[in-house]
C-alpha cells in the first residue's frame, strides 16, 4: 500500500485532507492483514482494531458505504467477506444470534444477503422483522398524529388528547368555579376539539433507488409504505429500481418481504423508473409521487426530467427525497436535483415524522 499506517513515517506533512484520511484508514482496516502476513509489525490502528469483532466490521461497512463510489464499494465489499471474517457471519446462524438486531446490522446483512447460506437467510429475515417492528413501534404514534385530521374548534370530542385540548372553551365553561381566595379556576370539565377528515382517495407512489448509498433510506421507505398503506382512502404503490424496475406494490404491507427483495449493486436508471411510475398514475391531481434517490443518474438525464415535467403539468404533487432517515443527512447529485427542481419537483431530505407531516398536509 502506498498509504496506510506503514507509510505514515515517510509522508512529509499532512498530505491528506479529512475525507481522504478517512478513506486511508478504511482501506488500511481492510487490507493491513496482508501486510501483517508478510511480517510487518502490527501497530495499533488508527481506525478501529483488527480483532474478530463483528460489530467493528459492520461499522466499517457503513463507513465505506459513505466514503466510496458504488464501483469501488462493490469491490471492497467483495474483499471484505473473506478478509474481515464476514464469511462466518454469512454462513453460521449462531453468529447472528449473538448480535443485537439494529438498523446498522440490518443494513450490512441486506448488503451481503446474496452471499448468505439458506439457513442464514432465515436469520436475516428474523433480524429484519425485529428491526421493522421496532421502527414501526417508534414511528407509528407520530404518523398517526400527523394523519389524525385537522383540528375543528366547532366540533367536540370525547377523546382526551393533549394536542386537542381546547383551553379557551375549558376556561369559559369553568368560570363559575373561580376560587377568589386561591385566585385560580378549578376546572372540573375539560374541553377537547374534534378533528375533520377528508375521505377522498389519494394515491402515493414511492419510487425508491435501491443503490447501496440509499440503503438506510430504503429501510425507512419500506416501513413508511406499510404504515401509509393502512390509512383509509390511501393507495400506496411501491417501486424499487436500479437499471431494472421492480413493482413491489403487492408486498407493500410486508416491509420484511420488501427488504428481502432489495438487490443492491449495478447501475442506476432513474429515468426508466420515473417513466414507469408515470404510467401508473390514474388521477394526477390526487397523486403524490415520491422519488427517493441520490439523483446519480446512470443514463441520460433528459427522459427523467421530461417525465417529471409532464407529471408537474398534470398537477401531480412531486417530491424528491435525498434522504429519509433519522439524520436526514443528504448526499446527492446537486446538479441533477436542480434540474428536477426546475421541472417542478420539490427536493428535500426529511426524517420520517416530517415526511408524514408533509404527506398529511397535502392529503388534508
pLDDT tens for the chain, residues 1 to 364: 456 565 665 555 556 677 787 888 888 877 776 665 555 555 544 444 434 344 466 667 667 777 887 667 767 766 776 666 666 666 777 767 767 788 877 887 887 787 777 888 888 899 899 999 999 998 888 888 777 655 444 444 455 555 566 767 777 777 777 778 887 877 767 776 655 555 568 999 999 998 767 878 889 999 999 999 888 888 999 999 988 899 999 999 999 999 988 876 667 899 999 999 999 999 999 999 999 999 999 889 999 999 999 999 999 999 999 988 877 777 789 999 999 999 999 999 999 889 988 998 888 6
Q: What is the Rg, in whole angstroms, of the alpha carbon atoms belonging to the chain?
A: 25
Burial 129-150 (b: 16+ CB within 10 A, else e): bbbbeebeeebeeebeebbbee
Question: How does DSSP classify residue 249?
Answer: G
150-156 and 193-196 beta bridge pairing: antiparallel
Contacts (Cβ under 8 Å, ≥6 apart) of 335:
none
Evaluate whether 238 touches 248 at the Cβ level (below 8 Å): yes
* pLDDT value of residue 190: 75
Residue 276 CA to residue 247 CA, distance in Å, equals 9
pTM of this structure? 0.68
* pLDDT value of residue 28: 80
* pLDDT value of residue 85: 60
Per domain, the residue ranges of the chain are: 16-35+54-84, 156-193, 202-363
Evaluate whether 255 touches 132 at the Cβ level (below 8 Å): yes
What CATH number was assigned to the domain covering residues 202-363? 3.40.50.410
Diameter of the chain measured on Cα atoms: 89
Residue 163 CA to residue 142 CA, distance in Å, equals 12
* pLDDT value of residue 189: 73
3-state secondary structure of 247: strand
Amino acid at each position: 500500500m502506498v498509504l496506510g499506517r506503514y507509510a505514515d513515517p515517510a509522508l512529509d506533512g499532512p498530505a491528506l485532507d479529512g475525507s481522504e484520511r478517512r478513506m486511508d484508514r478504511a482501506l488500511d482496516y481492510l487490507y493491513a492483514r496482508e501486510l501483517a502476513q508478510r511480517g510487518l509489525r502490527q501497530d495499533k490502528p488508527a481506525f478501529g482494531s483488527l480483532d474478530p469483532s463483528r460489530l467493528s466490521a459492520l461499522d466499517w461497512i457503513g463507513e465505506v458505504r459513505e466514503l466510496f463510489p458504488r464501483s469501488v464499494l462493490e469491490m471492497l465489499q467483495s474483499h471484505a467477506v473473506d478478509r474481515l471474517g464476514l464469511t462466518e457471519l454469512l454462513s453460521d446462524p449462531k453468529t447472528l444470534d449473538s448480535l443485537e438486531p439494529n438498523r446498522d446490522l440490518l443494513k450490512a446483512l441486506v448488503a451481503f444477503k446474496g452471499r448468505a447460506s439458506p439457513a442464514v437467510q432465515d436469520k436475516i429475515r428474523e433480524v429484519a422483522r425485529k428491526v421493522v417492528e421496532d421502527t414501526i413501534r417508534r414511528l407509528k404514534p407520530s404518523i398517526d398524529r400527523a394523519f389524525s385530521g385537522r383540528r375543528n374548534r366547532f366540533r367536540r370530542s370525547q377523546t382526551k388528547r393533549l394536542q386537542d385540548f381546547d383551553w379557551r372553551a375549558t376556561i369559559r365553561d369553568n368560570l363559575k368555579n373561580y376560587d377568589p381566595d386561591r385566585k385560580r379556576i378549578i376546572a372540573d370539565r375539560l374541553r377537547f376539539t374534534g378533528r375533520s377528515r377528508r375521505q377522498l382517495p389519494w394515491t402515493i407512489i414511492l419510487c425508491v433507488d435501491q443503490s447501496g448509498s440509499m440503503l438506510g433510506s430504503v429501510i425507512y421507505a419500506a416501513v413508511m409504505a406499510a404504515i401509509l398503506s393502512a390509512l383509509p382512502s390511501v393507495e400506496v404503490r411501491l417501486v424499487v429500481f436500479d437499471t431494472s424496475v421492480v413493482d413491489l406494490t403487492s408486498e407493500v404491507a410486508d416491509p420484511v418481504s420488501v427488504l428481502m427483495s432489495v438487490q443492491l449493486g449495478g447501475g442506476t436508471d432513474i429515468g426508466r423508473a420515473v417513466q414507469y411510475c408515470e404510467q401508473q398514475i390514474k388521477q394526477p391531481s390526487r397523486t403524490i409521487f415520491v422519488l427517493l434517490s441520490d439523483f446519480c443518474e446512470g443514463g441520460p438525464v433528459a427522459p427523467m426530467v421530461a417525465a417529471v415535467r409532464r407529471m408537474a403539468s398534470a398537477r401531480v404533487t412531486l417530491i424528491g427525497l435525498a434522504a429519509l432517515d433519522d439524520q436526514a443527512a443528504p448526499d446527492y447529485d446537486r446538479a441533477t436535483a436542480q434540474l428536477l427542481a426546475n421541472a417542478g419537483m420539490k427536493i428535500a431530505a426529511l426524517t420520517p415524522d416530517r415526511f408524514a407531516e408533509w404527506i398529511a398536509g397535502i392529503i388534508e
